[in-house]
Amino acid sequence: MRVVIKLGGDIVKGVFPPNLLSDMKELGATNQLILVHGGGDVVTEIATKLGKEQKFVVSPDGIRSRYTDRETMDIFMMVMCGLIAKKLVEVLRRNGIPAVSLSGLDGGVLKASRKKKLLTVDERGRKVMIDGGYTGKMVSGGGAVVDALLEEGVIPVISPVAVGEDSEPLNVDSDRAAAYMAMGSHADAVLFLTDVNGLKLDGRVVERLSVEEAKKALPEIGFGMQKKILAGIESIEGGVREVIVASGFGERPLGRAMAHEGCTVISS
């Protein structure tokens, strides 16, 4: 099996969960794994330390996103493709798991189209059109470089920086990047590992959902999880058989998620 695993911000920011590491070694022994990571909070933290206060804008549907001017894009790359990705490779390597980190710029493994304008809502609730900066909408993922690494038994570690039509780096949503990586590399499953056990509705984790049920539930879901469910729906519609949302913490996080225990599964 080929499985794309999206590692959420809480998993990549502190001590890498040791249980997840041993699980990854086991799963990776018989399957091809592709990792995609998040970590927006770390970008904000480092940018603030560098004296570059991060600005966030809100769309008319209430979606909050980082305003990425070129300086912010450079810091985003430093943190995502440098600090976070290399620490992941370090920890994997130390545990005998060969890995290579890539951004979308490297081999064009994530391609996006640059958002020319962004429709935002200001503090007074007025709609304002602003320059899109260095943010992108995912177009494609995967390709020869990813396939070659997998053939060699190496885990590709992908940062959420895509390449635009003018070869510029673009900040893309990491859940979406994972979805496009899964679709483009014909993965059997995409697994979103985060800090909660799955999608909760009415206070309980939903074990199974069809695409139709997932679409219907969207308005009731809070921001971080809504992005995963949206990316999950997109993955299934793009040919991925199974989407799992699970916690990256606790005992045997990967083994349990792959066995559909204590998590949310969306299937075609």
Ligand X SMILES: Nc1ncnc2c1ncn2[C@@H]1O[C@H](COP(=O)(O)OP(=O)(O)OP(=O)(O)O)[C@@H](O)[C@H]1O
Residues that bind Mg ion (CB under 5 A): 224
- Applying CB under 6 A, the span of 18-26, 112-120, 145-153, 188-196 interacting with ligand X comes to 188-196
If the CB atoms of residues 23 and 122 are measured against ligand X, the closer one turns out to be 23
Confirm or reject binding of residue 224 to ligand X (CB under 6 A). Answer: yes
How far is Cα 100 from Cα 86, in angstroms, rounded to an integer? 9
- Applying CB under 6 A, the span of 39-47, 54-62, 93-101, 148-156 interacting with ligand X comes to 39-47
Q: Which of residues 90-129 bind ligand X (CB under 6 A)?
A: none
Smallest gap, in angstroms, from Cβ of residue 201 to ligand X? Answer: 6
Confirm or reject binding of residue 213 to ligand X (CB under 6 A). Answer: no
Tokens of 170: 């673009």
Of 17, 28, 39, 156, the residue at the interface with ligand X (CB under 6 A) is: 39
Of 69, 165, 195, 237, the residue at the interface with ligand X (CB under 6 A) is: 195
For the purposes of burial, counting CB atoms within 10 Å of the CB of 14, is it exposed (0-12), middle (13-18) or buried (19 or more)? Answer: exposed
Smallest gap, in angstroms, from Cβ of residue 175 to ligand X? Answer: 6
Q: How many CB atoms lie within 10 A of CB 112?
A: 28
Tokens of 99: 């890995």
Confirm or reject binding of residue 199 to ligand X (CB under 6 A). Answer: yes
What's at 35, amino acid-wise?
L
Region for 157 from its dihedrals, namely left if φ exceeds 0, alpha if ψ lies in -120 to 50, beta otherwise: beta
How far is Cα 177 from Cα 141, in angstroms, rounded to an integer? 7
* Nearest residue relative to Mg ion (C-beta): 224
Smallest gap, in angstroms, from Cβ of residue 195 to ligand X? Answer: 5
Token look-up 């290399």 returns 86
* Total binding residues toward ligand X, as defined by CB under 6 A: 16
**How are beta strands 242-247 and 189-194 bridged, if at all?**
parallel
